[in-house]
Amino acid sequence: QKEVEQNSGPLSVPEGAIASLNCTYSDRGSQSFFWYRQYSGKSPELIMSIYSNGDKEDGRFTAQLNKASQYVSLLIRDSQPSDSATYLCAVNGGKAAGNKLTFGGGTRVLVKP
């Protein structure tokens, strides 16, 4: 059973601070990694993708990937109340897995003003 694990939270962060979210995955054949943001009652929205080891920055978001440790993380800098949402980690297992995304259970983030 290929799994993606996340701490469910809630992760409470003061406004302006850095929120750090973690995700581990079990399938070493995984090839691409994604972070989605989901507001309550809404559909998931793709916010970051990362394919190779290291950091990838996009605005206030930084994704980090370490394939040796099977670990991917998301940093949200200068957190805003509008960042309060559930963040879903997703892993694409490649052709062998039918190129389907496997999702973690999500981490709920609360940014307090």
What is the C-alpha separation between 35 and 21, in angstroms, rounded? 10
Task: Work out which of 44, 73, 79, 84 binds another protein, going by CB under 8 A.
Answer: 44
46 binds another protein (CB under 8 A): yes
Q: How far is the CB of 29 from another protein (least distance, A)?
A: 10
Q: Which residue's CB is nearer to another protein, number 18 or number 46?
A: 46
Per CB under 8 A, which region of 38-46, 56-64, 65-73, 75-83 contacts another protein? 38-46
What is the C-alpha separation between 17 and 79, in angstroms, rounded? 5
Determine contact, residues 63/76, Cβ cutoff 8 Å: no
Task: Work out which of 43, 54, 68, 113 binds another protein, going by CB under 8 A.
Answer: 43
* Burial class for 52, CB neighbours closer than 10 Å (0-12, 13-18, 19+): exposed
Half-sphere exposure of 65 (CA within 13 A, CB side): 21
Query: What does the binding site for another protein look like in residue numbers (CB under 8 A)?
Result: 4, 6, 31-32, 34, 36, 42-46, 49, 51, 88, 90, 92-95, 98-106
